[in-house]
Structure 1
Amino acid sequence: MMMFVFVLIYLMLVLLRPQDYPQMAGFGIPILPLAMVSAAIAWVFSREKRFNAPQYLLLPLFLVALFLSLAVTGWIGGARIAAVDFLPCVISFFLLANAVNRPSYTRVIMTVIVLCAFVLAVHGVQQASSGVGWTGQTTVEDGRIQYVGIFSDPNDLGMLFVISIPMAVYLGSRGGFLGMRRLFWFCGCLLLCYGIYLTNSRGSFLAVVTMTAVYIWIQRGRVWAAMLGAGALVLLRLMPSRLDQLNVQESSASGRIDAWYEGMQMFITHPLLGVGAGQFTQHHYLTAHNSIILVLAETGIIGFALWFAFIGYGFWMMYRIVRFEPEFEDEDDILEWQDARTIALALLVALSGFFAAAFFLSRSYVILLYLLSALVVAHHSNVLARFPALGELRLGNHVLRWIVLTLGAVACFYVVLKVLLAMG
């Protein structure tokens, strides 16, 4: 319990960022590192440690790949910096995945994430109306809202709103308090959608469409998902936003495609460990603008295979819970399984939204991804402990599968890139 409390405090500091307010600059207290260290100490003394998911091995190995991507060039100092910069993501993943060891804790974490997103959305509404929020942060030049710290980019702020929407929908679906709970969470969803509109992030708009399509696909089938997804895209193109400029000839899109091409060339010339973590912009004037190509270019096929498997297992875990159909006779077991499946669906939709946005952004190493992944792993472990028939996933049984999928993903991306270059 103590560990969970410390992790909860750390999570709120990561999302709300009070330590990044200009008013806090004079204090000089490293609040966030202290919170992380406190949670880590509580984890060390906890009796309930678990490492029963492939991600517990894949993520540290990816950290090693980041280090080696620079170490092999002889730049040991840079390799240490890259590893230290990514280490909080690794620690955060382990802490959250271990702390959430009960289904009720999963709901608490989802509640905290969504409530923090509400706070940031309200800040954005204030910012949009007056030009400045209570943090002292102003809108960017074109009027798009932003927050502080890791959410000082409208795209990152939009991604938080995106992954919070399916969690809010789940929390609202549970009802209670004469319908007031449902009303609160669903009104919160509208607030988050408005926040996404204020960020004017094309990736976030596309993420909402993707999440809608994934949800409908799971619940109604592919045909309905394709039809409603296409309809949603048309509707978004008609809205006053930057999405109506989305085509391969548009300067921003063209620059992204050029960056993807340069990233692929970096991978071709440095296939094993890439050009080095954080070195993409040393070889091209723009960042990759794609989370896949960024990892591929900077860490090569070795790092990308580890990262791709780490991400892939998260999707696989939630999908298998959603599709698994156990047979129960006890009504309590049925209700418990239905709740577990609904949470898995919400997390699967959130993952889909994150990566729909991250496909057009360089967000391979952001902490938000690894916090979401930790919640996914924790939920899978909790469901597996309660319903062993689901079956444990073991990395050793899937090595060949991930090698094939990794090579296939690289080949598919290369073909897509060629098509886009031809269209441009």
Structure 2
Amino acid sequence: MTINKQDVIYLLLIIALASAGAVLISNPNIQVGLFGLATLLVIGLVVAIYIKPSLGAVVLIIAVFSNISRQFTDQGLPGVIKPLVAIVAATIFVRYLNESMPGGRVKTRTVEVFLFLFLIATALSYIVADNKDRALEATLDLGKDIVIIYCFLFTLRTPNTWKMAAWTIILVMGFLCLLGAYQVIRGNYRQEFFGLARVVQDIGSYSTTYRIAGSIKEPNIWGQVVVASIPLVLLRVIDESRIRIKLISLGILGILLFEVLNTYSRGAYLALAIIFVLTALSYRLHPLVWFSSMAVVVLAIPWLPSSYTARFETLSLLSPGSQGGIYQEDSFRGRTSEMLTGLSMFVNNPLLGVGAGNYPNNYQTYATNVGLELRSGERDPHSLYVQVLAETGVIGTIMFVGFSIALLVGLTRARNSISHLEEYRHWIPWIIAIQLTIIGYLITSFFLHGAYLRFFWIFSALAMSAIQLTEELRQDAERPSRELTT
């Protein structure tokens, strides 16, 4: 009888699992018992991912979107996301080390180059940072997110595993937004479901507005994440041939739209409108559909509660005809000041910026130069692009913008490369969906900083995997014809 490497690994995992189970059962100490339970969970996770690597991507999606690490830290426990990433990455590496590494990634090479150059630019900004700890933390966080991206690239090797990851996002977001819908409908904003559905109060002069903030307690950024997730389910409603799945998708879409409405995020409203327009253009909808949709929106606005319409009306201050509109509304004035302050940081430190993660501690120093609005304490830039400019300078900005453009161009080329292949027509809507997801996130990033940029990297990982898979599908489809001609 011969024993191969894989059998040895399974045997060692079984021994470790049995040992941890014995410790858990026999020891009455609660701390030891919890440690044993955690060990059992880790071993089970390792075994599952080793057997089916695509589960690693699913686990990371659930962990990131549920923000489970914060649920632990709020209870005084250590965060779990970085150890989880390390476990998943190590398991995937061992799996492929014992078998075979995935093939080359020619179509994503440019995207990957920009990504690593952005990491280098972020690391270089450490040199000029006043707060070295923040710069180091920002660099390590980006490194962790890049590891997650490669976990996706190495595990989502077929259209089915890619779709499983996309459906995981759809279902997790649907569940989290359903919790938010419950809060709004029941008016029970104290019930936060163990931190999975958080709420922020905006206290005004005459009333209090409860803004749904999801698992991250940041309503604007949560609105950004929900809007970015909507194309994945929207195109299921349009393209799904199975009636049951189409109806489920329609229900989830309604829940997500309701969630966006109750974040009261104006940036999310604008991005959502743009996504709907781009979707209509992608499918070349009949003009009657355009006019009908616009009519429904116009007729629905008067029936919306005043808290919603008041939020919509403030958008008119951004119109060219509104003289000094941005200075008439407190939040617009504050954000304008924070953006101009970020640009002032860039002008004074054009090459490397003020250091990754160092905008907040430099705000007061540069805000006095702007003089638009002075606020005490640290502030955020409220624009990802201003943040990248201010913190990593022109070098980091070129790399980040280059990464984003290369990613969108790669998706467009991937879609065009298989548009003539009838057997892969079902794959094209998924490419369109993830492209709209990236566009939606980048649009809202004009108004929001990168406090939770991990969501963008998850979407980017899906996009890069889609580019890679599409190229492999194209090669598989054209291989028979090449063989016939040789």
TM-score (norm 1): 0.80
The CA deviation at 1:380 is 0.5
In structure 1, the residue matched to 2:71 is 21
SS at match of 1:277: coil
Say if 1:205 and 1:236, in contact at 8 Å, map to a contact too. no
Q: 1:126-151 CA deviation, whole Å, 9 max, x = no partner?
A: 22221122225652112011233xx2
2:353 maps to 1:274: yes
Which range is displaced more, 255-264 or 375-384?
255-264
Say if 2:72 and 2:78, in contact at 8 Å, map to a contact too. no
Q: 1:56 to 1:98 in 2, by over 3 A?
A: farther
In structure 2, the residue matched to 1:191 is 255
In structure 2, the residue matched to 1:202 is 266
Q: 1:318 to 1:283 in 2, by over 3 A?
A: same
Q: 1:262-318 CA deviation, whole Å, 9 max, x = no partner?
A: 222221221111111112223325322111111011111100111111111121122
In structure 2, the residue matched to 1:159 is 224
Say if 1:86 and 1:365, in contact at 8 Å, map to a contact too. no
Which range is displaced more, 266-275 or 302-311?
266-275
The CA deviation at 1:20 is 3.5
In structure 2, the residue matched to 1:42 is 91
Q: 1:195 to 1:237 in 2, by over 3 A?
A: same
Say if 2:117 and 2:399, in contact at 8 Å, map to a contact too. yes
One-letter amino acid matched to 1:314: L
One-letter amino acid matched to 2:210: G
Q: 1:162-200 CA deviation, whole Å, 9 max, x = no partner?
A: 1221111233445465x1111111111001101111111
In structure 1, the residue matched to 2:380 is 287
Say if 2:162 and 2:462, in contact at 8 Å, map to a contact too. yes
The CA deviation at 1:97 is 2.6
2:146 maps to 1:110: no
Q: 1:290 to 1:225 in 2, by over 3 A?
A: farther
The CA deviation at 1:22 is 6.8
The CA deviation at 1:258 is 2.4
In structure 1, the residue matched to 2:335 is 256
In structure 2, the residue matched to 1:305 is 398
In structure 2, the residue matched to 1:320 is 413
Say if 2:111 and 2:403, in contact at 8 Å, map to a contact too. yes
One-letter amino acid matched to 2:382: H
2:82 maps to 1:33: yes
The CA deviation at 1:48 is 3.4
Say if 1:274 and 1:296, in contact at 8 Å, map to a contact too. yes
Percent identity between matched residues is 21
SS at match of 1:187: helix
**Count of paired positions:** 381
2:423 maps to 1:335: yes
2:200 maps to 1:140: yes
SS at match of 1:197: helix
The CA deviation at 1:67 is 1.7
Q: 1:77-115 CA deviation, whole Å, 9 max, x = no partner?
A: 554233123322221122123221211111101100010
Say if 2:177 and 2:256, in contact at 8 Å, map to a contact too. yes
Partners of 2:381 and 2:300 in 1: CA distance:
25
One-letter amino acid matched to 1:186: L
The CA deviation at 1:51 is 4.4
Root-mean-square deviation (Å) = 3.2
One-letter amino acid matched to 1:144: R
Which segments of 5 or more consecutive residues in structure 1 lack a partner in the other structure?
A: 328-332, 391-424
Partners of 2:57 and 2:437 in 1: CA distance:
21
2:280 maps to 1:216: yes
SS at match of 1:146: strand
Q: 1:82 to 1:29 in 2, by over 3 A?
A: closer
Which segments of 5 or more consecutive residues in structure 2 lack a partner in the other structure?
A: 1-50, 202-208, 318-325, 365-378, 478-486
Partners of 1:269 and 1:232 in 2: CA distance:
49
Partners of 2:179 and 2:75 in 1: CA distance:
19
SS at match of 1:363: coil
| Alignment equivalent of 2:145, drawn from 86, 89, 100 | 89
Say if 1:295 and 1:364, in contact at 8 Å, map to a contact too. no
2:2 maps to 1:2: no
Say if 1:291 and 1:362, in contact at 8 Å, map to a contact too. yes
2:444 maps to 1:357: yes
TM-score (norm 2): 0.71
Say if 1:125 and 1:195, in contact at 8 Å, map to a contact too. yes
In structure 2, the residue matched to 1:243 is 312
One-letter amino acid matched to 1:130: N
The CA deviation at 1:255 is 2.2
Which range is displaced more, 5-14 or 202-211?
5-14
